[in-house]
Structure 1
């Protein structure tokens, strides 16, 4: 069993965000102990992991809630859940491609600056030939 602080450390997410997600019903099975502290099980951690992944794709809280509700309904909703996850997977793939493209632009710019420094042109100015 895990407290909200434990889960926060495990997933590098703030306790405040976890409480917000819990209040929105995204972790349907968490319980509270005698001190009214939220307690997460290993199964709850699977929900946390999925919610975080879906938020990173840009999925709205309302859409995640619909997905979670399908999960609660059980095996009859597997196909619907697969379609949702496939769509989010494709969004994540596009984000990765775009991130790699942006990384390559930055890598190229770093190389340009290093060459300028190596040949003694540390005072690079703006110009129209993309040497910015």
Structure 2
């Protein structure tokens, strides 16, 4: 088993601030983690795996309330597998809809870029063939 990590080590390796890690624990997104005799947090590999999953939910737009509901179901154990699966299916579908919307918007932006590129080529072509822009050499 890997050696438990301190909150500072987890923050450095995950890119999540120590303040955010404490907030996630307080908000119920993370289970209470182990502690040293002095009371310092120690994160296990399982804690890090769960944190990574929470960060993915956040990155894909799941609201904090949704993440809290999912974490609460997780804490209840195996009896909630179906409910958790249903939540993830709903979230996946929302993410796919957002990706489709982004792809539509990206296609419109790409079309506009191509429009400007064609317009610039046309202007450049006109300048090369228009004698009013060409100086005669002596």
Instruction: Classify the TM-score, shorter chain.
Output: 0.7 to 0.9
Please give the alpha-carbon distance, in whole angstroms, between the structure 2 residues aligned to 1:104 and 1:47.
35
Partner of 2:127 in structure 1?
Answer: none
Which consecutive segments of 4 or more residues in structure 1 shift more than 6 A?
none
Please give the alpha-carbon distance, in whole angstroms, between the structure 1 residues aligned to 2:19 and 2:122.
50
Please give the alpha-carbon distance, in whole angstroms, between the structure 1 residues aligned to 2:54 and 2:122.
50
Please give the alpha-carbon distance, in whole angstroms, between the structure 2 residues aligned to 1:87 and 1:104.
26
Distance 1:33 1:58, change over 3 A: same
TM-score, normalised with respect to structure 2: 0.70
Structure 2 alignment gaps of length 5 or more: 125-138
Greater per-residue helix proportion: 2
Partner of 1:55 in structure 2?
Answer: 58
Q: CA deviation at 1:117?
A: 2.6
* 1:18 corresponds to 2:21: yes
Please give the alpha-carbon distance, in whole angstroms, between the structure 2 residues aligned to 1:33 and 1:118.
68
What are the equivalent positions in structure 2 for 1:25-44 lying under 5 Å apart? 25-33=28-36, 36-44=39-47
Distance 1:97 1:41, change over 3 A: same
Structure 1 alignment gaps of length 5 or more: 122-132
Please give the alpha-carbon distance, in whole angstroms, between the structure 1 residues aligned to 2:108 and 2:12.
33
